[in-house]
Amino acid sequence: MDIEKFRDYEAIIQNVADVAILLDGNGRIERVNPAATHLLRYQEKELLGKKIEDFISEDPKQKLKNCFSRKKPLYNYEVTFIAKNGKKITLTINASLDPKKKDIILSGRNMEKMSGLIRDLKNSYRELEATQEQLIRSEKLASAGRMAASVAHEIRNPLNVISIAAQQLSKKFKESSSQKPYMNLIIKNIERLNYLIEEFVSSARPPQLKMRLSNIGEILHEVVPATSEKCQSKKIKIIENIKPRLPMLRVDRERIYQAFFNMTLNGIEAMPHGGTLTISAESNAKFIKARFTDTGEGIPKDDMIRLFDPFFTSKKEGMGLGLFVCYGIISSHQGTIEVESEKSRTVFTVQLPLIGGGSP
């Protein structure tokens, strides 16, 4: 190599952001670049001639040691160095061997910043996914509302006609008639259909909110006695973990109660053989967070995506409207609902923003 080219290489080594250390065959430091002295906080003269091991705190698989003794190159191996100020710095290093001179060239990169970036990216991606889910849900809610209006229109009227006709017809049969039970069955089911449609229409309609300054902790607290009978019969313990002095929020008290009640009831119904339901609430600078954690059967992964859909239910007697209604109420308060579930632990988390809220 001519001297000019050598100078070019030297200039590169001196100016790169990566750590570059030249070691002799025994692992003694022969040369270091400014990135290495800067990172390790030593002056060049304090490092030259010293064993590299003196500056290493962790070499978990002893691979760097092997690199000297067995002359094995290293690729992307994490080693923790100790700087002069005692700070531990983990570098991802590569070591290549110079076969002629038996020197080792060690280059290292601090991946902390990179992993911070990756972490930020992952968080942003997760947030994006959550926003997308929320958007899909609110679109579903809006389309369910539109659908409800047309369903009501298309089904209600003919159903009314059928209902009146069935009742007229029913009068023709004596109570003792063998056909009477069939007539009763028809009428009962018409009533049920009517009820379903009315429920759907009223739950899909965006709620008219009567906002007033309210204490979310108090509303949560009121849910507990309303469910105590069910809890007693199913051997369910309710634990309240509501932080005192939560900020006051402008909400529709009745609606929020209804949403909290539905979630509490779901938690109870998920524990037919007993368990614990923890109702907790806390606040930060932006939100009040209310959580309903049960020790029930959990939600199968495939069901997760349909939980908030109208009429999605896994219960014999369920309507599948509870969470649909909850979603409508919470989102009309600009809040969010998140669900996490595994066996023996399901958590519904409601976040209500502090916008328009008062002081504790």
Residues near ligand ATP (CB under 6 A): 262, 266-267, 270, 294, 296-297, 299, 303, 307, 312-315, 318-324, 346
Q: Which position among 275, 296, 322, 328 is part of the footprint of Mg ion (CB under 5 A)?
A: 322
Q: Nearest residue by C-beta to Mg ion?
A: 322
Quick one: what does residue 324 bind among Mg ion, ligand ATP, none, with the CB cut-off 5 to 8 Å set by partner type?
Answer: ligand ATP
> From the CB of 283, what's the least distance to ligand ATP, in Å?
23
Q: Which stretch binds Mg ion (CB under 5 A): 127-135, 136-144, 233-241, 265-273?
A: 265-273
Min separation Cβ 129 and ligand ATP, Å: 21
Q: Which is nearer to ligand ATP, 55 or 308 (CB)?
A: 308
Nearest to 29 by CA among 83, 105, 91: 105
Q: Which stretch binds Mg ion (CB under 5 A): 94-102, 215-223, 226-234, 261-269?
A: 261-269
Residue with smaller CB distance to ligand ATP, 227 or 266: 266
Strands 103-110 and 19-23: antiparallel
In Å, how far are 144, 267, 331, 335 from 138, measured between CA atoms? 10, 24, 8, 12
Question: Toward ligand ATP, which CB reaches closer, 27 or 267?
Answer: 267
- By a kind-dependent CB cut-off of 5 to 8 A, residue 346 interacts, out of ligand ATP, Mg ion, none, with ligand ATP
Backbone angles phi, psi at 22, to 5 degrees: -100, 125
CA atoms within 13 A of residue 346's CA, in its CB half-sphere: 22
Spell 48-74 as b/e; 16+ CB within 10 A means b: eeeebeebbeebeeebbeebbeeeeeb
Of these partners, ligand ATP, Mg ion, none, which one is at the site of residue 245 (CB under 5 to 8 Å by kind)? none
C-alpha to C-alpha distance for 211 and 158, rounded to whole angstroms: 38
State the minimum distance, in angstroms, from the CB of residue 159 to Mg ion: 25
Nearest to 262 by CA among 316, 313, 325: 325
Q: Answer yes or no: are the C-beta atoms of 347 and 292 closer than 8 Å.
A: yes
> Residues in contact with Mg ion, total (CB under 5 A)?
2
* Residue among 95, 32, 33, 34 at smallest CA distance from 63: 95
CB of 312 to ligand ATP, least distance (A): 5
- Strand 275-283 to 236-242 pairing: parallel
* Partner that binds at residue 321, options ligand ATP, Mg ion, none, CB closer than 5 to 8 Å by kind: ligand ATP
Q: How many angstroms separate the CA atoms of 292 and 112, rounded? A: 37
Nearest to ligand ATP of 151, 166 (CB atom): 151
- State the residue for tokens 């200039």: 11
Residue 263 CB, nearest approach to ligand ATP (Å): 7
Q: Least distance in Å: CB of 328 to ligand ATP?
A: 11
Residue 312 binds which of ligand ATP, Mg ion, none (CB < 5-8 A, kind-dependent) = ligand ATP
**One of 266, 295, 336, 346 touching Mg ion (CB under 5 A):** 266
The sheet with strand 236-242 has its strands ordered as 236-242, 275-283, 287-294, 345-353, 336-342
296 binds Mg ion (CB under 5 A): no
Residue nearest to ligand ATP (CB): 322
Output 267 or 335, the one with its CB closest to ligand ATP.
Answer: 267
Is the CB of 173 or the CB of 312 nearer to ligand ATP?
A: 312
Shortest approach of ligand ATP to residue 57 CB, angstroms? 47
Residue 166 or 196 with smaller CB distance to Mg ion: 196
* Choice between 166 and 265, CB closer to Mg ion: 265
Residues that bind Mg ion (CB under 5 A): 266, 322
